[in-house]
Structures are given as C-alpha cells and as structure tokens.
Structure 1
Amino acid sequence: MTLASNILFFGPFIKASRIDSYFAVASAVGLIYDWALTFGQEVELIWKKRWSLMTAMYLSVRYVGLIYSIIRVLLFIPVTTAVSPGGYLALDWMCVVTNAILGVIMIARLYAMYQKSRNVLTFLVVVFLAVNIANGVLAGIIMKDVSGEIVVLSGMYQCIVSFGGDSVFLGSVTWIFAAVWELVTLCLAVWITAKHFRELRRSSAGGIIGDCFTVLIKTHVLYFASFVPIACFNLAYLSPITQVEPYSMKRHIYVGFLQIFSLAGKFVLGPRLIIGVREYHARLVTDSDAATSVTSIVFEKHVYDGKCSV
C-alpha cells in the first residue's frame, strides 16, 4: 500500500536508506572490479575447459553475486523501489541458494582430498542436507513474516521492510548451523592435509601432491577465516541491543560493512575455491611439458585421478 507521509517524521529512515545505498553501490563496484580482474583467468580456466559440475558451480556463484549486487543497487532507485519488498525476498533466497552451492563445492573438494571415500562422502552429504534443509525451513519461516510498505516521501518511493515473529532468534540459529558446517569441513580438510603431508615425506611425488594440497588448504582456510568474523558480526547484529534504534546511523554503517564482508566471502572467495585449484593445475600442466616422462606419469596418477581435482 502506498502512503503519502510527512518527510520530517520519516527523516531518520531517509538518512538510513541513503547510507544503505552508499554501501550497496560500494559492494557492487567491488564485486564488478573483482570480476573484471579475474575475467581473463575465468575465460582460460573455466570457459575454455571441459564443462563439469564445478564449472556450473563456479559460474553460478560468480554471476549470482553480480546479479545480487545489481539488484541491491536497483532497489534504491526511485523507479524500482515500488517492487522492493519482492526484491528483498529474492535477495534473501539468492543467499540461501548460494550457501547451498558453496556447500556442494566443499563436499567435492573434501571428497577428492579423501581419495573418493564413500564414508566421508556419506557423512558430508548427511550433514550438508541436515544443515541446509534446516536453514531453508528457517529462512522460509523468517521470510513469511516479512512485510513491506511503500511510502511516498517528497515524490520519491521508499520501501519500509519489517521482520515479524521470532526472526531475530531464527536468524541467529541459521548462522549457528552455518558455523557448524564450516567448522566440520575445516577440521576434515586440516586432518587429511596433515595426514598426506606425513605420508608424502617419503614419496617421490611429494612435491606435486604436497603443493596441490597446499593450494586446497590455503583457499579453504582463507574462506573459513573470512566466515568467522562475518558470523560473529551477524550474531551481534541479530542481538536485541542492535534492534532498539532501527534507523540509527551507527547501526546502518555497521550493517553496511557487514554486507560488504558477507558478499566478499560468498562471491569473491567462493569462486576462488575453484579457480585457485584450476590455476594450479594449468601451471602444473605447463611445467610438466618440460619434465621427464616419470613426472608426467606421477602427475596423471595423483592429480587427475581425483586426489586434487575440482
């Protein structure tokens, strides 16, 4: 419903909306800049290679992130804010889907690192389904209680979105589930990496496989390291203390930085989970052209046979 309202009464909301728009533009520019920097690698390592599940995962995360950032900017344009309630819901579901895709990428990486162990795959799939089904249900409950109202302030459309019910508590639960999943995958990655490094000290192929596992664990640890502060910030934001003044400038600056970090974790570091390993493989193929036939055989056996392949 559209309302004509006094601009003085909605003054704090207008200031908060302006701050949100600044951060939305900043995050969009950051994602587009990162895409431009890595587009050359993307063409060589993704588009020109044989298509696979990981190719689809990479493209989904990368371009969903770009679409997400563009939609967020459009929501602050007066012409498009009339549909912003549905736009906010679309953004929330895009995050849910992206988290599920990143979970599939993690399963594929750990499955390869554990030499295609069915037990590990079964365990990961069970935990993944439990976490994502629970988070999907909770997200549906939260979004069911979301309400949006269009107000006209000095001839400009603005949307006020409010969350009802136990959205604060349910939101904190979803982040706890997500943190459990990230912690499980990190522990499994560190465990198998340490085990392989011990075994490969006595192996002639230790340099090849050791470097490959180094690439995997570095990208995984970097991704997890970005998740920890994001989770803490989200839990702090969902606390009742931050809900006292919903349109305060400090609160929206906090939310703005939180969204930038969250988008960077999902849509910048997420694609690098794949492209980092692809880059290592491409460099290894180039180096192997000048190596001996024995090195080439070791490379084929250990790298392309599923141990480090994404």
Structure 2
Amino acid sequence: MSEQEVVASLRWNNNVSVVTITLICYEYLFLFEKEVKFVWKRQWSLMSCLYLVVRYLGLSLALLCGCWGGLLYISELVSYGLAVLMEWGFSVYFCFSEVILIWRLYALCNQSRLLLYVLVGLFLPIVALSIGMDIFLYSRRDAFSVKEVITPNAKYCGPSFNMGPMPAIYASIPVVCYDIFLVVFAAAILVNHLKERRESKMRPNTYVLMIVRYHVIYFVLNLTNQILLTVLWANIPTPAMSLAELFNDTAPFIFAPRLIISIWDTHANDKCVHVSTTFADCVCWTSPPQHEMSCA
C-alpha cells in the first residue's frame, strides 16, 4: 500500500469515526428524556431491562468503534483485544435484539407459552452458531488480526481479514432464515388481526400495526447488516469498507432503542387505561374486541 493510500485510508477512518460518535451522542441525548420517563421513573419489567441492554451496550460499542483505529492511537496488542471484544459485543447485541422481537410476538399472541418455547427453541441453535463462528472467525489470529500502519506523520491500526468471505456467508444464512421466519409470522398475525377486525367492522389496533411494521424494519436492517458484515471479509475499496462500517456501527444501535421508546411513547399518549401495565400483560397489544373502547 502506497503512502497516499495509507493517508486516504486514515482520513476515511477518522471521518467515519467522527460521524459515528456524533450520531450516537445525538441519539443518546435525543432519547434521554423519554428514557427517564419510561424506564427510570417506572417499575422495571423485562422489556425495560432489554431496552437498557441494547441502549447502553449499543452506546458502548458505537463509541468504542468510533475511537478504535485511527482517531485515537491504541497499540497493536490492545487494538486486537478491543477488536475481538467488539465483534463478540456485536453478537451479544444481536441476541438481545432478537429476544426483543420474540417477546413482542409472545405479547401479541396472548402470551402463548407454546409459541414462546418454539421461538426460543429455534433461537438457541442460532446463539450456539453465533458463538462458534465468533470463535472461528474472530478469536484466532490466523483468521482475524490487527495490522499497525505507520506513516511519517501518523500511525494507526486497522483490521486484517485473513480468510475469504465464505465462512461469514455460511454463518449468516441461518440468522437471515430465522429473521424471515419471525417477520413472516408477524405478518401472519397482522393478516389474522385485520381479518377479525374487518368481520367485526372495527379499525385495526394501532399497536399491532406498529409492532409488525417494526419487525419488518428490523428484518431489513439486520439483513443489510449481515450482508455488510460479510462484505467486510472481502477485499473491497477503502471508501466502501468505511461506509459499511459506518452503517454497522450506528444503525443497529440507533434503531433498536428508538423502536422500543416509540411504542412506549405512543402507548403513553393514547387513551389506553393500562399505561402502567408491563409490556407483555397489556391488553392493548392483543386487542380483543371487548377492549376496544378502553384501549384503542
């Protein structure tokens, strides 16, 4: 790599780092007031705990990604440890995001224990696969390492992918298939809900529409994220890699907390009498016809 290419790579890294930190800090400050209102000033539930995990784990990972590389110099040995930590953190974040989707479907289906067991049972092999692939792809120096680049004016560390993209592609297929299953199941719930409401001559429940829409948004987001994570293993130009890293280091950490907060915010501003009820127990999510007058 020539000196000009090194300088261009460092410039791309620093620009992306600044954008990442700016977006994440803005998002944190933007949602902080609502977070205090809906989380810290209320009794905690499973959903609020899941929110705090995706909120602060995502915030930590995004800031770490923004500082790692060239914006702040970190020695090669420490950079490798941080890089592995970030990759494992991404996997943990993905698992908690999937649990949120599972819990929403559980709430929509009248807290069906059978459904919960099926969804969790199908998800556990995905978790095991994720752990195995993280060990195979990111916890071995012959597969993933950090390279220190030194120029006359600066030095920084960058990731070095020592394998082809095929293992990452194979690992992403079960994840994408599981997300397809979740979004199709959510769509089936919506279709059944619309059919019941049409027969009863009632308008669709706001929360059912919102939750299904968010499942679709998350599916598109996660699909894009999986594709870009796989692309990073290929030898692509620096600008393309930097933009892919910008998306992966910001979008998942912004959308997941925001979607949770938006449901709470809509719920609090609605006329439902069960605002203080925990997520899974609120009849607003399941919306049987007899509750329409009080919950819609």
TM-score scaled to structure 1, two decimals? 0.79
Q: CA RMSD in A?
A: 2.8
Aligned to 2:88: 93
Give the Cα separation in 2 of the matches to 1:167 and 1:58.
35
1:293 is aligned to: none
Tell me if 1:176 matches 2:173: yes
Match of 1:42 in 2: 35
Determine whether 1:188 maps to 2:185.
yes
Pairwise CA distance, 1:99: 0.2
Aligned residue among 136, 139, 147 for 1:141: 136
Partner SS state of residue 147, structure 1: strand
Indicate the SS of the match to 1:213.
helix
Aligned position for 2:56? 63
CA pair 86-167 structure 1, distance change in 2 beyond 3 A: farther
C-alpha contact (below 8 Å) 2:6/2:151 kept by paired residues? no
Q: Deviations over 1:177-236 (max 9, x none)?
A: 2211211110111101111221133458x55x7112012112222222333444444445
Deviation for aligned residue 1:155: 6.3
Return the offset for 1:149: 4.1
Note the alpha carbon deviations across 1:227-269, whole angstroms, 9 max, x for none.
344444444554xxx42xx6xxxx2211222223333441111
Mapping 1:5-20, distance limit 5 Å = 9-20=2-13
Q: Quote the offset at 1:160 in angstroms.
A: 4.3
Change (3 A) 1:258 1:116: same
Q: Equivalents in 2 of 1:78, 1:157: separation in Å?
A: 10
Instruction: Tell whether the 8 Å contact from 1:151 to 1:160 is kept in structure 2 after alignment.
Output: yes
Match of 1:256? 242
Q: Kindly tell me: are residues 196 and 160 of structure 1, through their superposed partners in 2, closer, same or farther at Cα, counting changes over 3 Å?
A: closer
Contact 2:73 2:156 in 1 (8 A): no
Partner of 1:120: 115
Contact 2:103 2:280 in 1 (8 A): no
Residue of structure 2 equivalent to 1:132: 127
Per the alignment, residue 220 of structure 2 pairs with: 225
Match of 1:103 in 2: 98
**1:150 Cα shift?**
3.5
Q: Is the Cα–Cα contact under 8 Å of residues 215 and 280 in structure 1 kept in the other structure?
A: no
1:80 alignment counterpart: 74
Amino acid at match of 2:249: L
Q: Does the 8 Å CA contact 2:148/2:157 hold for their aligned counterparts? A: yes
Partner secondary structure for residue 111 of structure 1:
helix
Larger gyration radius, structure 1 or structure 2: 1
Name the amino acid aligned to 2:109: Y
- The amino acid across from 2:248 in the alignment is S
State how many pairs are aligned.
279
Q: Distance in 1 between matches of 2:238 and 2:91?
A: 22
**Alignment check: 8 A CA contact 1:115 1:307 kept:** no
Question: How many angstroms apart in 1 are the aligned matches of 2:166 and 2:280?
Answer: 45
Give how far 1:306 is off. 5.8
Q: With structure 2 as the length reference, what TM-score do the two structures score?
A: 0.83
What does 1:233-272 correspond to in 2, within 5 Å?
Answer: 233-238=228-233, 242-243=234-235, 251-272=237-258
Q: For the residues of structure 2 that align with 1:160 and 1:38, how far apart are their CA atoms?
A: 32
CA distance in structure 2 between the partners assigned to 1:211 and 1:151 by the alignment: 53
Of the candidates 47, 51, 56, which is equivalent to residue 54 of structure 1? 47
Query: Which position in structure 2 is the counterpart of 1:3?
Result: none
1:281 alignment partner, one of 267, 270, 289: 267
Distance 2:216 2:54 in 1: 19
Closer, same or farther: CA 168–303 of 1 in aligned 2, 3 Å: closer
Q: Is the 8 A contact 1:135 1:177 kept in 2?
A: no
1:308 equivalent in structure 2: 285
Gaps of 5+ in 2: 287-296
The equivalent residue for 2:293 is none
CA contact (8 A) 1:74 1:80 kept: no
1:158 aligns with 2:135: no
User: Per-residue deviation at 1:114?
Assistant: 1.4
